[in-house]
Each structure stands twice: as structure tokens, then as C-alpha cells.
Amino acid sequence: MKLKQFILNNYNAPLEINLHSANGTTGTIKVSWIKNGALKTVWEKGKQQTINGHQEILGLLKQHE
């Protein structure tokens, strides 16, 4: 939820963000979006890396606009 709020607060365009859980089975946070009908994954790392990587994730999303 913290990553979702960070992206919503810092991305300069309207977004719809959907979250789902793997019920704690993977330990991986994956950030993807659908562009031109194709799923593009820009981040797939562990929880601690994700907590420390919010700014990097935002940059990756902006790169893939």
C-alpha cells in the first residue's frame, strides 16, 4: 500500500492501480502495467528492496511511458 500511495502521489498522470496478494508465498513484489495490450513488468524484487526502491520504481514507470 505504501508503494501504491507513493506512485499515486508522484506520478504526473492519472493512473489506475490494482493490487493483489500471492498470500505470502513468493516474497516478491512485482510492478507491471498494461501498455498497448501487453503486460510490461518494470520491477520484480523482494520486499526490502521494494521498500528502499520507491524512487527507482517511479523512474522505471516513467521510462516505460
Which residue matches cell numbers 503486460?
Answer: 39
Neighbours of 50 (CB within 10 A): 19
Amino acid at 4: K
3-state SS, residue 45: strand
pLDDT of amino acid 53: 94
Boundaries of every domain in the chain: 2-63
pLDDT of amino acid 16: 82
Q: What is the pTM of this model?
A: 0.81
CA of 58: how far to CAs of 22, 23, 26, in Å? Answer: 22, 25, 22
pLDDT of amino acid 19: 79
Per-residue pLDDT of the chain (65 residues; tens, 9 = 90+): 789 999 999 998 888 888 777 777 778 888 988 888 888 899 999 889 999 999 999 999 998 87
Contact 1, 7 (CB under 8 A): no
